[in-house]
């Protein structure tokens, strides 16, 4: 692959997905795209680039973009977001005016193979008593149709279920089918999947009480991050939450959010972005939470 071909591929990737390919990643491009070239009956990346330049190359472009995405995910990844969900976010929702309508919408903005939305669905099921009668919608989106198909099937290898999933949850919510494990249809039906590019207009998705956008912003350039965070702020209800990945932050990128004290990776809207006038008080039914918020000692 020539330097010009590498530049062509990284510009294509950036335009189609926002992903930024750093200098020196030629080896990654080769290992990911040679199989795409071969599948299309081509012998080299030079042939692939020539094919991409043809007028009717939309399908090939999609395959190239999908092949370049990092789809790594696992159940209850980083634990903290799911603890925050249980200890801070859901209690705040229960104490808010939306308790009258008992409805909540959650967006998993880069759902990959489904482990993140299913971890949330399991967590919701585990909180059945508090959330009885609530209508909770989980919309899980991703750019890659391939990962969404896997997510919808809810089938995982032994290795995948061993990463992060407590054994009692495996037993409770999965069935073994041959060498794979399938998540229960009752959990699968809690998640609605949608093929969706984060570069596109978010208004079609509606408004959300929580947005989980984890481990994807790291792959974008600063302008793309700024734009996405600004548009997500407009999709959040005034007392909603944004959850980012462990290596991601809004600091220095967006003034639309403020970190929730003591809760790593959790953000509320700032006053300038239209935050609710006063945050809902920590509900008395959750004294552990009240203590954590008051002392700011919640472990990350």
Ligand X SMILES: C[S@@+](CC[C@H](N)C(=O)[O-])C[C@H]1O[C@@H](n2cnc3c(N)ncnc32)[C@H](O)[C@@H]1O
- Nearest distance from residue 37's CB to ligand X, in Å? 20
Query: Apex CA 94: angle with CA 185 and CA 211, to 5°?
Result: 60
95 or 243: CB nearest ligand X: 243
* Interaction site with ligand X (CB under 6 A): 17-19, 69-73, 77, 110, 112, 116, 142-144, 147, 197-199, 214-216, 245
Sheet holding 155-157, edge to edge: 155-157, 180-183, 174-177
209 or 239: CB nearest ligand X: 209
- Nearest distance from residue 195's CB to ligand X, in Å? 9
- Nearest distance from residue 297's CB to ligand X, in Å? 26
196 or 257: CB nearest ligand X: 196
* Distance (Å, whole) CA 70 – CA 191: 22
71 or 249: CB nearest ligand X: 71
Beta carbons within 10 angstroms of residue 62's beta carbon: 15
- Helices 45-52 and 3-17: crossing angle in degrees, nearest 10, is 50
Share of the chain residues as helix, strand and coil, in percent rounded to the nearest 5: 45, 20, 35
Q: Return all residues near 234 (Cβ < 8 A) that are at least 6 apart.
A: 202, 203
Exposure string of 153-186, with b = 16+ CB inside 10 Å and e = fewer, is ebbbeeebbeebbeeebbeebbeeeeebbbbbee
107 or 134: CB nearest ligand X: 107
- Nearest distance from residue 196's CB to ligand X, in Å? 6
12 or 282: CB nearest ligand X: 12
- Nearest distance from residue 145's CB to ligand X, in Å? 10
CB 136 within 8 A of CB 124: yes
- Nearest distance from residue 216's CB to ligand X, in Å? 4
Q: Return all residues near 164 (Cβ < 8 A) that are at least 6 apart.
A: 74, 75, 76, 77, 79, 115, 119
* Distance (Å, whole) CA 11 – CA 299: 41
- Nearest distance from residue 45's CB to ligand X, in Å? 21
* Distance (Å, whole) CA 19 – CA 28: 14
- Nearest distance from residue 215's CB to ligand X, in Å? 4
* Distance (Å, whole) CA 127 – CA 115: 18
134 or 220: CB nearest ligand X: 220
182 or 197: CB nearest ligand X: 197
Q: Which residue has the tokens 């039906």?
A: 189
């Amino acid at each position: 692959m020539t330097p010009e071909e590498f530049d062509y591929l990284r510009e294509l990737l950036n335009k189609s997905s926002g992903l930024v390919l750093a200098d020196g990643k030629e080896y990654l491009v080769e290992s990911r795209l040679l199989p795409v070239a071969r599948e299309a009956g081509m012998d080299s990346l030079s042939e692939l680039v020539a094919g991409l330049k043809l007028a009717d190359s939309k399908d090939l472009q999609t395959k190239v973009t999908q092949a370049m995405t990092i789809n790594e995910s696992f159940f209850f990844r980083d634990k903290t977001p799911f603890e925050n969900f249980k200890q801070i976010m859901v209690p705040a929702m229960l104490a808010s005016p939306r308790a009258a309508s008992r409805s909540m919408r959650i967006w998993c903005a880069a759902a990959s193979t489904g482990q993140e939305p299913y971890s949330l669905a399991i967590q919701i099921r585990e909180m059945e008593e508090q959330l009885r009668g609530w209508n909770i919608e989980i919309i899980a989106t991703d750019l890659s149709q391939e990962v969404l198909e896997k997510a919808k099937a809810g089938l995982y290898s032994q290795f995948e279920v061993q990463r992060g999933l407590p054994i009692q949850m495996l037993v409770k919510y999965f069935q073994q089918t041959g060498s794979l494990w399938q998540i229960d249809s009752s959990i699968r039906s809690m998640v609605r999947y949608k093929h969706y590019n984060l570069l596109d207009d978010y208004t079609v998705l509606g408004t959300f009480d929580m947005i989980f956008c984890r481990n994807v912003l790291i792959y974008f350039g600063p302008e793309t991050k700024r734009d996405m965070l600004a548009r997500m702020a407009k999709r959040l209800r005034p007392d909603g939450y944004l959850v980012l990945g462990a290596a991601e932050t809004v600091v220095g990128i967006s003034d639309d959010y403020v970190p929730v004290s003591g809760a790593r990776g959790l953000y509320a809207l700032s006053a300038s972005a239209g935050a609710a006038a006063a945050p809902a008080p920590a509900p008395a039914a959750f004294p552990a939470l009240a203590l954590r918020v008051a002392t700011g000692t919640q472990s990350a």
